[in-house]
Structure 1
Amino acid sequence: MDKHQISVVQRQRGQRRTKRAFRRALPFVAALFLATPIAAPVSQSLAGSAHFAPPRAAAAPTKALLFNAKLHESYDALGPGAQGLRFDVFEKAMTGYLNLKQTNRLATDKQLLTVVDFDLPSTEKRLWVVDLASHQVLFHTLVAHGHNSGENQATAFSNTDASNMSSLGFYVTGREYQGKHGHSLRLAGLDEGFNTNAAARAVVMHGADYVSEEFIKANGRLGRSLGCPALPMDQYAQIIAAVNGGTCLFIHKSDAGYSSKFLDQHVAVQALTTAGPSAS
């Protein structure tokens, strides 16, 4: 073998030794790399010098989150008196109340909200009158639904005259009067297509002897009205006296196709901001 061939063989052997040494060292190099902290992102300043980017400030709470927190605060303040009143129903009722307040549809000397939840059967107390100024439930009682809305459960609703069904949505209470049901309270429906025929249909708040625990025990459900939210005889006069004259009534039912322009949360947030804590 000449000197040139010996030189080539030696170089090849040297290259193989170098590759083996590199493969043996590779795991240690990788471990060292992974253990070394990675530098923070660098941004370029307007002057051209590099500097570390400052940490981002925490995102400010949105108005929707603040609104939700305020409603939870108001709901929690009602305490045991709100038993059975679910937060999602209270939230809808409050959103409508604040929309009506913001558009000057409610009396300024009362902060009362009446909620009827027809998701509950007639055998349960499903009407609440809430004083939003003092955070108290003034009344929690039984209430009847319309004859053609269902038996124990209200499942059908109408805005049509002579339908004998209940109507969903937001109302503003009117004047007290003496009618065929005795001492009664007029109601003005505000939701187009859902309850705006309330006055023409004579849908009012009144007392009825078929709204009682005794009637439930005898029949397994309350009696039913012609569409009016009828109240127990031992409470109706006090309730009417409290809520008359421009207060908000909300009649609720889930999955009934109900929608309302008064469920605008943007307007409600604005009303809550401008009116202060007493509005909630």
Structure 2
Amino acid sequence: MLYQTLAITFLLFIGSFPQPNIKAEKPAIITSIDPISTIYNGLQSSTGVLPSKEVFTLAFQGWTKMKGDLKSKVLTVIDFSLPSTAKRMWIIDPEKGEILLNSVVSHGRNSGELMAISFSNQPESYKSSLGFYKTAETYSGKHGYSLRLDGLEKGFNDQARNRAIVIHGADYAREEFAKSVGRLGRSLGCPALPSELSDQAIDLIKEGSLLFIYGQDENYLNKSSLIQA
């Protein structure tokens, strides 16, 4: 009986002391890292002009799928949802996070005036074609130093070589032309560049890099397998 009384007294004594406030540790929150956002947010441009994140994301998704088949890891992005007066072409090194060149670029004469609103893969349509291309060999033609393109998306741009869709320089694709007319001049479907920049651009992207031409076209956006995550 004495021992039982002493035990109860001891327990009451211990219980009179304030107890430590022990809080359950919260589980660590693990956040996933979005590689596209990381690269996009780190892009450096001397002009300060970047492609939209939406367009860059589509281009990067295609580049990720195709880069194993590419000779050059440079990625070129053209955004035909912008007016031709805007610098809507970017040559990007995704691995270094650098924009190597940013320029205006012309669209096809039958794709629209200031804005490119209609696209085609058909010969003699004189329209621009959307989607992913692989750059090929250079040559000297009526527009001087030029770069052939091979369309990679059947039904959207796979007629590019048959249509002679190439990258070349043109005086009508210069910003001075746009200032006097209100828009760039237009091509027969080629992404034409300012004559003073075309040689530099071609040397950056020739022989096996990826080119992505974006436009606000629901048919392409819904059916292209290369832009899906």
Report TM bin, short chain. Answer: 0.7 to 0.9
Assess if the C-alpha contact under 8 Å between 1:169 and 1:251 holds in 2: yes
Aligned residue number for residue 60 of structure 2: 94
Aligned-residue sequence identity (percent) comes to: 45
What secondary structure does 2:172 align onto? Answer: coil
Superposition deviation, residue 148 in structure 1:
0.2
The aligned runs of 1:62-73 (5 Å cut-off) are 66=33, 69-73=34-38
Aligned residue number for residue 69 of structure 2: 105
- Paired amino acid for 1:200: N
- C-alpha RMSD of the superposition: 1.9
Aligned residue number for residue 101 of structure 2: 139
Aligned residue number for residue 28 of structure 1: none
The aligned runs of 1:31-180 (5 Å cut-off) are 66=33, 69-81=34-46, 83-101=49-67, 104-107=68-71, 110-180=72-142
Per-residue CA deviations over 1:216-266 (Å, capped at 9, x if unaligned) read: 12211000000000000111000001100110000001244213111242x
Assess if the C-alpha contact under 8 Å between 1:215 and 1:222 holds in 2: yes
Aligned residue number for residue 249 of structure 1: 211
- Paired amino acid for 1:77: G
Hey, which of these two has a bigger chunk of helix by percent?
A: 1
Per-residue CA deviations over 1:29-83 (Å, capped at 9, x if unaligned) read: xxxxxxxxxxxxxxxxxxxxxxxxx99967865xxx54xx211110111134562
What secondary structure does 2:90 align onto? Answer: strand
Could you tell me how far apart the structure 2 residues matched to 1:90 and 1:223 are?
Answer: 26
Assess if the C-alpha contact under 8 Å between 1:177 and 1:184 holds in 2: yes
Matched, 1:262 2:226: yes
Could you tell me how far apart the structure 1 residues matched to 2:226 and 2:175 are?
Answer: 34
Assess if the C-alpha contact under 8 Å between 1:206 and 1:236 holds in 2: yes
Could you tell me how far apart the structure 2 residues matched to 1:247 and 1:189 are?
Answer: 12
- Paired amino acid for 2:137: R
5+ long unaligned stretches in structure 1: 1-53, 266-280
Aligned residue number for residue 194 of structure 2: 232
Could you tell me how far apart the structure 1 residues matched to 2:87 and 2:122 are?
Answer: 27
Could you tell me how far apart the structure 1 residues matched to 2:26 and 2:224 are?
Answer: 40
5+ long unaligned stretches in structure 2: 1-23
Assess if the C-alpha contact under 8 Å between 1:99 and 1:264 holds in 2: no
- Paired amino acid for 1:127: M
What secondary structure does 1:185 align onto? Answer: strand
Superposition deviation, residue 179 in structure 1:
1.6
- Under a length normalisation based on structure 2, what TM-score does the superposition of the two structures give? 0.83
| Count of residue pairs brought into register by the alignment | 203
- Paired amino acid for 2:42: A
Q: Residues 214 and 117 of structure 1: is their aligned pair in 2 closer, same or farther, counting only changes over 3 Å?
A: same
Extract structure 1 runs of 4+ deviating beyond 2 A. 54-61, 79-82
Superposition deviation, residue 120 in structure 1:
0.4
